[in-house]
Amino acid sequence: NTKSEPDSWEIIEGLKIGQTNVQRPDKHEGFMLKRRKWPLKGWHKRFFVLDNGILKYSKSPIDIQKGKLHGSIDVGLSVMSIKKRARRIDLDTEEHIYHLKVKSQDVFDAWVSKLRHHRLYRQNEIVRSPRDATAHQPLSVALCLSLSLSLSLCVSQTKPSSLPWQPAVCSSSLPPSYSNGQSKVAAWLQESEEMDKCAEELAHCQSSLMELSRLLQSLEVLQRTQSAPNFTDMQVYLSKKDKRVSRRWRTKSVSKDAKMQLQVPHSASMSPVRLHASNPNLCAELADYQTPVPRLTDTIECPADYIKLQEDFCAIAQKVHALLKSAFNTVAIEKEKIKQVLSDQEQAGQSAQVITLRKSLSQQIHVGIPLTQQASNESRLSMSESVSEFFDAQEVLLSASSSENEASDDESYVSDVSDNISEDNASVTDIVSRQMPNGDLTGGTFRNGRRTCLPAPSPDTTNINLWNILRNNIGKDLSKVSMPVELNEPLNTLQHMCEELEYTELLDKAADTNDPFERMVIVAAFAVSGYSSTYYRAGSKPFNPLLGETYECIREDKGFCFFSEQVSHHPPISACHCESKNFTFWQDVRWKNKFWGKSMEILPVGTVNVMLPRYGDHYEWNKVTTCVHNILSGRRWIEHYGEVTIRNTKSSACICKLTFIKGNYWSSNVNEVQGFVMDQEGKVVHRLFGKWHEGLYCGIPPSAKCIWRTGSMPTDYELYYGFTRFAIELNELCPEMKSLLPLTDARFRPDQRCLEEGNVEMAAAEKQRIEDLQRGRRKWLEENNIKHHPRFFKERWVSNNTYWELRKEPGFSKLENLQLW
């Protein structure tokens, strides 16, 4: 094991190559303390049973006997770390991080000993009999199972009477809510001979996918078992220079013996049946599985039938590919026929709308109702009808979904509602970009006078051995660990705080809303919107600001002025302040980043504040926990979970509580947010639901109203760090701004600028030089017993109201500035 001090984390090694015949361990059980999964507040006493490498837990031994389990952990597939002095045991399973604690030292030692033994036994059993290791299915297996389920739904809805395994919800009779046009289209689909062929192909495809899932499970169990347990072997494995087909964090090793591709049509709009209806992330993920399963025979001793498994998997995958391609072509042909039917209906409907509009205009003349008001009402009505149609279709799909949705039936309503919402509810940024050709105002390079693309794409990171960097930092705060510059993005934390203000039009709207409950709803939408830009950003981290570093952002188009400063280095604390004629925004945040073996948790400590001067409101709320999964292998993904409480400190009329639901990557309720606004008596006035990367809705489906939705992403955003349009603009340095900004502004930071321009070698050298300078300054301050004082913030990290005054007179260029770089 890795030698370490008692107060540091120690990683437990697993099965070594050549180690066999691990004796079956005795069953072990007892009470331990388990930290809540979210919002990570408090410890709960739980009864644990460890049997054959599987750790199950519940509230009491009686619940265990009755089968009422709260959870089950495969310790053989987990990264296990312990902290002796604190008597802590952590198990990272990729999907969840389990934090356990024992009060007694003797009990702690017993649990650690038993867990070691059971872990080795479980890993040995998996290596010996991978096909029997079915207690916990890997994430990749869920892909095949989810795709199989989606295909089942597609086939059952395409030709209900032709399949013996048809779900009970799919009958040949159409729901009475179908309109005449929908009934004709659905009846025509059932009578189409081409769709018979498509249904048959999809049925064969489903059986092949079930076989694929079995093979993939065996392959991935071997991979995960052999990749986690031993540091030496892990280091050798990760240091291999294998070819990559995808860039950055989305890469997967390519097998030399399996040059196949599993392709699925990328355009969901090409099919009248939405394959991803039960799983919104399915289609986006299929691209990651275009590469075959990693080959491990170069680095570990695999069972003799491993190559045979690979060959069988590739053969069946090619068969599935051919079936899906044929089915897609059939659906594409039928789709054109459907378009023609709908086009004929639309032309007939437009004639009726013209007659209605003429009558409406006649009434305007006599009654005098403003035309814009009536159009707005009709727009809301059409939105409601559109949402109703969506949820009618969604309920059919969800009723046949997998059992993982049983515990949260009401949580699965949100998926593609935004596609059916009228443009009145779209974000201001998105509307402006759609009104201009290519989203530009002054040509192909700038939008609203600002750039629309970064100077260079993000660098390749496949040659970086993360395990060597992180292996000695289990459970530690990663903000103190120096990382390669390639892992950064050309923004720092001070700019990230400004990025949370992308949707300030919500605060402008709240400042013009008289009803206090509706104002709270809009403020809640703004709180959620601050997380939306992180959805595509799991692959990189922001630069850590230097002590005394600043950032300024003036947005005439949004009507606000923002500045931020790094006010403390250890602990790292960032503070910001933003002013507008309609609102004042400020916050201070301390970030704690911890790595747990497969995942990294980001725990923010601080408070967000918003004031609306017109009503005298002062809202404040906390931030939730962020977790980045699959740090070492696979596709990285990010989630936010926890509870947010929004209070108006100037009034007790209402309070808002939001819950960022913790899930896993393959669940249908991933990224979901739910909440409510209550009055002072505890009565729910408004219900909220949505997804933090899509939008937030108020009400109860199907008549819910869209409060906020995200804007469109720029072209090729995957190549440019996953930045939004707003993020692309944050580090831009215009010539006319150079003389106005303080020299401590993040735009002048050379390592960050070099990375943005694609000069990685120079960025790495500058980053090292800047960090050395900061260590020298800190040492000098400590030796001279001098405390650093923030320049633009005072106690409790609120603005001292000097930034804009000094900027105006005498100007930062005439003042003494810190030499940070």
Greater model confidence, 808 or 193: 808
Quick one: pLDDT at residue 352?
A: 62
Which helix (H) or strand (E) segment holds residue 237: the answer is helix 231-239
Q: How confident is the model at residue 234 (pLDDT cuts 50, 70, 90)?
A: very low
Quick one: pLDDT at residue 195?
A: 60
Quick one: pLDDT at residue 196?
A: 63
CA–CA separation, 159 vs 141, rounded Å?
A: 27
Q: How confident is the model at residue 225 (pLDDT cuts 50, 70, 90)?
A: low
Return the C-alpha torsion angle 546, 493, 644, 707, nearest 10: 150
Q: How confident is the model at residue 392 (pLDDT cuts 50, 70, 90)?
A: very low
Quick one: pLDDT at residue 276?
A: 38
CA–CA separation, 101 vs 470, rounded Å?
A: 23
Contact 742, 817 (CB under 8 A): yes
Quick one: pLDDT at residue 37?
A: 67
Q: Counting beta carbons within 10 angstroms of the beta carbon of residue 62, is it exposed (0 to 12), middle (13 to 18) or buried (19 or more)?
A: exposed
For 692, what's the count of Cα atoms within 13 Å in the CB-facing half-sphere? 30
If one counts every other C-beta atom within 10 angstroms of the C-beta of residue 651, the result is 16
Quick one: pLDDT at residue 13?
A: 84
328 φ, ψ to 5°?
A: -65, -45
The percent of residues above 90 in pLDDT, for the chain, comes to 43
pLDDT by residue (tens digit) across 44-63? 999 999 999 999 999 999 99
CA angle 771, 774, 780 (to 5 degrees): 145
Alpha carbon of 291 to those of 48, 259, 310, 376, 717: distances in Å? 39, 8, 12, 49, 22
CA 224 to chain centre: 23
Beta bridge partners of 625: 641
Range with the poorest average pLDDT among 89-98, 221-230, 301-310: 221-230
CA–CA separation, 612 vs 651, rounded Å?
A: 12
Contact 341, 334 (CB under 8 A): no
Quick one: pLDDT at residue 12?
A: 87
Range with the poorest average pLDDT among 91-105, 437-451, 500-514, 516-530: 437-451
Average confidence score pLDDT of the chain: 74
Most confident residue range from 336-340, 345-349, 741-745, 813-817: 741-745
Quick one: pLDDT at residue 299?
A: 40
Q: In the predicted model, what is the mean pLDDT of residues 302-311? A: 65
Quick one: pLDDT at residue 51?
A: 93
pLDDT by residue (tens digit) across 764-777? 999 999 999 999 99
Greater model confidence, 461 or 223: 461
Distance between first and last Cα of the chain: 41
Range with the poorest average pLDDT among 43-52, 287-296, 312-321, 706-715: 287-296
Q: How confident is the model at residue 173 (pLDDT cuts 50, 70, 90)?
A: very low
Contact 699, 676 (CB under 8 A): no
SS3 793: strand
Q: How confident is the model at residue 303 (pLDDT cuts 50, 70, 90)?
A: low
Range with the poorest average pLDDT among 197-211, 324-338, 394-408, 499-513: 394-408
Q: In the predicted model, what is the mean pLDDT of residues 655-661? A: 96
CA 414 to chain centre: 15
Quick one: pLDDT at residue 150?
A: 45
Q: Has residue 806 got a pLDDT over 80?
A: yes
CA–CA separation, 690 vs 704, rounded Å?
A: 10
Greater model confidence, 37 or 585: 585
CA–CA separation, 37 vs 627, rounded Å?
A: 11
Residue whose structure tokens are 């180690």? 19
Quick one: pLDDT at residue 149?
A: 37
Quick one: pLDDT at residue 470?
A: 80
Quick one: pLDDT at residue 40?
A: 55
Quick one: pLDDT at residue 306?
A: 66
Q: In the predicted model, what is the mean pLDDT of residues 206-226? A: 67
Strand 672-679 versus strand 684-691 pairing type:
antiparallel
C-alpha closest to that of 78 among 100, 90, 93: 93
Most confident residue range from 260-269, 311-320, 435-444, 677-686: 677-686
Residue type, position 748, single letter: F
What are 408's two structure tokens?
């949260």
Q: In the predicted model, what is the mean pLDDT of residues 793-815? A: 92
806 φ, ψ to 5°?
A: -70, -35
Quick one: pLDDT at residue 355?
A: 61
Greater model confidence, 818 or 204: 818
Q: Has residue 587 got a pLDDT over 60?
A: yes
SS3 512: coil
Q: In the predicted model, what is the mean pLDDT of residues 149-157? A: 41
126 φ, ψ to 5°?
A: -65, -40
What are 208's two structure tokens?
């092949």
Which helix (H) or strand (E) segment holds residue 609: the answer is strand 600-612
Quick one: pLDDT at residue 293?
A: 41
Greater model confidence, 590 or 374: 590
Return the C-alpha torsion angle 114, 116, 117, 123, nearest 10: 140
Greater model confidence, 357 or 49: 49
Most confident residue range from 218-222, 419-423, 503-507, 570-574: 503-507
Q: How confident is the model at residue 730 (pLDDT cuts 50, 70, 90)?
A: very high
CA–CA separation, 485 vs 718, rounded Å?
A: 19
113 φ, ψ to 5°?
A: -65, -45
What are 304's two structure tokens?
């003799």
Q: In the predicted model, what is the mean pLDDT of residues 702-718? A: 93
Alpha carbon of 661 to those of 73, 263, 405, 497: distances in Å? 20, 32, 13, 23
Quick one: pLDDT at residue 255?
A: 40
Quick one: pLDDT at residue 348?
A: 62
Q: In the predicted model, what is the mean pLDDT of residues 61-89? A: 90
If one counts every other C-beta atom within 10 angstroms of the C-beta of residue 367, the result is 8
Residue type, position 65, single letter: Q
Quick one: pLDDT at residue 476?
A: 74
Quick one: pLDDT at residue 542?
A: 93
Q: Has residue 384 got a pLDDT over 70?
A: no
Alpha carbon of 274 to those of 187, 239, 396, 739: distances in Å? 18, 41, 12, 54
CA–CA separation, 91 vs 97, rounded Å?
A: 6
Q: In the predicted model, what is the mean pLDDT of residues 654-681? A: 87
Contact 677, 520 (CB under 8 A): yes
What are 405's two structure tokens?
């949705």
SS3 697: strand
Which helix (H) or strand (E) segment holds residue 642: the answer is strand 637-648
Q: How confident is the model at residue 505 (pLDDT cuts 50, 70, 90)?
A: very high
Q: Has residue 467 got a pLDDT over 50?
A: yes
What are 465's two structure tokens?
């051995």
pLDDT by residue (tens digit) across 477-496? 777 778 899 999 999 999 99
